[in-house]
Structure 1
Amino acid sequence: MPETPEPPAAPALRGAALGTADISFFVVSAAAPLTVMAGVAPVAILLGGIGAPAGYLLAGLTLAVFAVGFTTMSRHVTSGGAFYAYIARGLGKRVGIGAALLALVGYNGMEIGVYGLLGTTTADTVHALAGADVPWLPVSLAGLLLVWYGGFRSIDFGAKLLGVLLVAETGILVLLAAGVLLKGGAHGLSLGSFAPGAVLVPGTAAVLAFAFAAFTGFESTVIYRREARDPDRTVPRATYIAVAFLGLFYAFVVWTVIQAYGAEEVVGAATQDPGGLFFTAITTYVGPWAADLMHLFIVTSVIASLLAFHNAINRYVLSLAEEGVLPAALGRVHPRHRSPYLAGAAQTLLGAVVVLGFALAGADPYQQLLLWVNTPGMIGLMALMLLAALAVPVYFRRTVHSEGRWRTVVAPVTAAVLLAVALCLVISRVGLFTMASTTVNTVLVALVPAVFLAGTALAGRLRTRRPDVYARFAEDPVQDTAQDPAEDPEGAQPCPQPTPS
């Protein structure tokens, strides 16, 4: 009898599609540099004075230390789950499943809230350029469709699009900086922003809280491991490039804006018109046409951020569907574009429900949709970074490896301490991010541990009712030697070194 042909393999993500630059475009775009600078940096200057640029450098340095252990872990844990996989392999599956749910909520919060920002920035841009008023809701819904299409297409299409948008938004900031430097600023150029007397002021703590928030999304490099070329090299390089670029670029741009107004005048200008600080500077030093471009590029900056987060969310959902935690249908990959298209459709539908819900409630798209939805997402992602930093030394203590102590102990423990401080700074000053009442702030912060605890409860349910799913959660395709501390309460011992033949 003729042999029965084997059924064709199910479509998978497009392997070896992304290089270092491509992944860097995704993660830097998620941070939305132009939006962060023009929209948030004036508040940092208002709170921290001329020492604000140093806050971005300190935040970047902290996250660079975190990246040491984080990227080292990426060479040993190749599961597509990134944050939750690392946490599960270091701190146990129950904690890992709690982290998985927190990652889903956190990344969705960081993306969906930004649709409110898209509506307001587009309305502001149209009003500034044409004098017309447009409602925010149709703009946000159109953005949902545009971002869905970008995620539906292949990952290399998204990388090329984000590359173009990122060059546009960073280019306009470079143009502003060049204009200030060529004209020597308001009173000549000064490095006083980095003097200890300017940095060691009470407002620096608030600046640090804003600065850490400005890096959100950089850690998503590891999510693209399955689509990266030579991931053991590409993913760490992209991570360090993203952190270094954001930290240095943010500090440089904020410093140049301070030079544009002068050290004595910049705080007053930020107080009087924070939203116009960058636009006035670029009009003065480059020209009104450049201010018009900045208005346009802020809109494209927001779109780029939305697309970057959308792609990251889709890959988290894909991984959790493959793990069996989410419905299997969400793990389907488009046969032509090789994208997690059903995960993308589900994420777009969720975004539409939230956006329409806020609109029907008469909520403000900026102060409520953006700030109230973004804030718990940001806090959740910072908490995940802290858990991941703690997981690294625990994992390597129980696993045979050839990595040095700096990568496996010193850097991750140092990062954990610094991230704990940063998380406390953000929570203690959460009102600066939300502009809401104490009651609202309490609810928004409490959502983070509530989601994590719900995830650990789900883990208990899976362990009892679906032990096969629980057993293979966050495991690599090839089983490694690390044990789950949840299965071994006495603590797993390091595996013996192989005997040379």
Structure 2
Amino acid sequence: MTVQSPPSKGLRDGSVGLLATVALGLASVAPAYSIAVTLGLVTLVIGDLAPAALLLGFVPILLTAFAFRELNREMPDCGTTFVWNTRVFGPAVGWIAGGWTVLFATVVAMTALAEVGASALLGLVGASDSTTAVTAVAVVLIALSTAVAHRGVQLAAHVQYVMLGLQLLALFAFGAAALTHEGAAGVSLAWLNPFAVGGFGPFAEAVLLCLFIYWGWDALITFNEESVDSARTPGRAALVSTLVLLVTYLFTAFATVSFAGTASAGHRLADPDTAADVLTGLAPAVLGDAFAKLVTLAIAVSAIGALLTCSTSTPRTTLSMSAHGALPAAFARIHPRHRTPAFGTVFFGVVAAGFLVLLTLLSADFLADAVLSIGLLIAFYYGVTGLACAWHFRRDLTRSVRDALLKGVFPALGGLMMLAAFARSAYDMADPAYGSTRLGGIGGVFLLGVGSIVLGAVVMVCVVRPRHAGFFRGGRTAVTRVSVTDN
């Protein structure tokens, strides 16, 4: 089987190298924001074993990253999971698991990121943080990120260098100050002991929360057709970015637990007033009021940077889906000068802004539960992709130990772990007490997560399939012809 570059879809090839691709991947995760809003929640579930959850949550992420690397090496296409799952499991699975689920999760994330960025910016300048003000600024941020994304991936990468540098500087400054602060407890390796977690339920919940803080690195794969050496650079960048995230998160978690402890009062990690945003809550005590603003700025920049990468990567997924006949031709329109998927970029900017306004009008709790549901969607499409890798390369597994591990065992284990976390968490989230909303005795987080997948199936069967019957008849052949030539 010979790998070849896919026919050009009109994107500007060779635009980004390894460093820029890593920056785009790291920025899409929003490291400062993600650890700030997740670490306290993990602590509420399993106490000072939060570093263990971060480490365990990284395992299926790393195993899945191997799957993404191997699949991209053979099928470099900006449609990534859509193309790979269609090739392996057929058009229906490819459209739902590789297309719709990824897009839906990203749109929800864009609304949350815009809101967080807006709220942090308003807080920095001392302006009103009313719901109307936050929503208005959030819509402006979505419009700005859409405008930058419309101009091209090179501009987005250059902007991300500055944003990412500020985030990492703030996180390591906070961590160093916390570790050396008077009264900080010593770091304990026992915090990394996963066997001390009390039961599978808390363990699964904590790991699913940690999936959210790693999620987003796979956005960098969507730039593969614009990367230098498209078959190898994105895969390498995926592994590098996930390892950088692990080191950054573990350092921050150890430092924060050492400084604050896990008590439920007095600005500790399990204090409800602190848990929702541990960095903002603890920064004044760690760095002083003046430097604490640097942390708040980093969280704002973190959210805005991730929003920018979402605005840049998402239209490339729909570009590929359109090029393969799975979406209307408008999504394949390329701007003649900027060489970007112009229609798709503007489309998702409008959808994200409209979704944000709609959820805000319905209820702030509804938006919060929509964000919590993202973990289910991540576990679902990562899990399916891991199994797709193992099945696609099943005939290569006896060629060498490397092939057996990196193409088969690791991706399959990662996929199974993701799907197990999905099943267990879906079960827990169905409880009406889970989250802030409920309908008919079922938790709102479950309805938003699993319900969005079901909604995607309905849209596919009732709307997309009748209009794009050719793809559903011969989708496997179409993506094979574009990505891979069999000898």
Q: Tell me which interval the TM-score lies in, with the shorter structure as reference length.
A: 0.7 to 0.9
- Aligned twin of 1:273: 273
Report the counterpart of residue 327 of structure 2 in structure 1: 326
Shift of 1:330: 2.1
The amino acid that maps onto 1:139 is: V
Q: Does 2:457 correspond to 1:453?
A: yes
Residue 194 in structure 1 maps to residue 199 in structure 2: no
**What does residue 208 of structure 1 align with?**
207
Q: CA deviation at 1:163?
A: 1.6
SS in 2 for 1:282: helix
In the alignment, the residues of structure 1 paired with residue 128 and residue 334 of structure 2 have an alpha-carbon distance, to the nearest angstrom, of 42
SS of the counterpart of 1:232?
coil
Instruction: Pick which of 138-147 and 242-251 moved more.
Output: 242-251
- Give the aligned partner of residue 393 of structure 1: 390
Give 3-state SS (helix, strand or coil) of 2:241's partner. helix
Give me the whole-angstrom Cα distance separating, in 2, the residues matched to 1:254 and 1:103: 28
Aligned runs of 1:242-257 on 2, under 5 Å?
A: 242-257=241-256
Per the alignment, residue 230 of structure 2 pairs with: 231
Q: Is the 8 A contact 2:150 2:312 kept in 1?
A: no
Mean CA deviation greater in 97-106 or 347-356: 97-106
**1:438-457, CA deviations, whole angstroms, 9 ceiling, x for partnerless residues?**
34234213323314423652
Cα 1:106/1:391, change in 2 over 3 Å: same
* Partners of 2:246 and 2:325 in 1: CA distance: 38
Whole-Å Cα distance in 2 between the matches of residues 105 and 303 of structure 1? 19
Match of 1:54 in 2: 52
Secondary structure class of the residue paired with 2:482: coil
Query: 1:70 corresponds to which letter in structure 2?
Result: F
Map 1:349-498 → 2, pairs under 5 A: 349-359=350-360, 361=361, 363-364=363-364, 367-369=365-367, 371-397=368-394, 404-430=403-429, 434-437=435-438, 438-454=442-458, 457=461, 461=466, 464=469, 470=475, 472-477=477-482, 479-481=484-486
Helix, strand or coil at the partner of 1:219: helix
Which AA in structure 1 matches 2:46? G
- Aligned residues of 1:94 and 1:460 also touching (Cα < 8 A): no
Instruction: Give the whole-Å Cα distance in 2 for the aligned partners of 1:231 and 1:459.
Output: 30
CA contact (8 A) 1:98 1:451 kept: no
Structure 2 vs 1, CA of residues 462 and 229 (structure 1 numbering), >3 Å: closer, same or farther? Answer: same
- Shift of residue 56 of structure 1? 0.7
Cα shift readout 1:343-365 (whole Å, capped 9, x = no counterpart): 11111111222223234x3532x
Question: Per-residue deviation at 1:267?
Answer: 9.2
Map 1:28-427 → 2, pairs under 5 A = 28-99=26-97, 100-123=99-122, 125-126=123-124, 130=126, 132-133=128-129, 135-183=133-181, 186-195=184-193, 198-199=196-197, 203-262=202-261, 269=268, 270-274=270-274, 275=276, 277-359=278-360, 361=361, 363-364=363-364, 367-369=365-367, 371-397=368-394, 404-427=403-426
Paired with 1:179 and 1:27, the residues of 2 have a C-alpha distance of 27
Alpha-carbon distance in 1 for matches of 2:420, 2:472? 37
- The amino acid that maps onto 1:381 is I
**Corresponding residue number in structure 1 for 2:3:** none
Relative to the length of structure 1, the TM-score reads 0.84
CA deviation string 1:99-141 (max 9, x = no partner): 3233322322222343333343334x24xx5364452121112
By how many angstroms is 1:470 displaced? 3.9
RMSD: 3.0
Q: What CA deviation, in whole Å up to 9, does each residue of 1:21-75 have, x standing for no partner?
A: 2122222212211112222211211221111011111111221112222211111
Q: Say which SS state the counterpart of residue 230 (structure 1) adopts.
A: coil
Task: Name the count of aligned residue pairs.
Answer: 467
d(CA) in 1 for partners of 2:170, 2:88: 43
Distance 1:227 1:199 in 2: 44
Structure 1 residues 207 and 185, CA, compared in 2 at 3 Å: closer, same or farther?
farther
Alignment partners' CA distance in 1, 2:170 and 2:253: 14
Cα distance per residue 1:428-470 (max 9 Å; x no partner): 4447984323342342133233144236526754675667874
Counterpart-to-counterpart distance in 2, 1:376 and 1:132 = 29
CA distance in 2, matches of 1:264, 1:400: 49
| AA of the residue aligned to 1:114 | L
Shift in alpha-carbon separation, 1:479–1:62, aligned structure 2, 3 A: closer
Shift in CA distance, 187/11, structure 1 to aligned 2, threshold 3 Å: closer
C-alpha spacing 1:215/1:434, structure 2 compared with 1 (3 Å): farther
Identity of aligned residues (%): 19
Deviates more, 1:191-200 or 1:227-236: 191-200
Moved more, 50-59 or 86-95: 86-95
Question: 2: CA distance between counterparts of 1:233 and 1:433?
Answer: 42
- Contact map agreement 2:9 2:323 (CA 8 A) in 1: no
TM-score normalised by the chain length of structure 2: 0.86
Q: Matches of 1:290 and 1:408 in 2, distance apart?
A: 46
Give, as a single letter, the amino acid of the residue that structure 2 aligns with 1:67: A
Aligned residues of 1:69 and 1:408 also touching (Cα < 8 A): yes
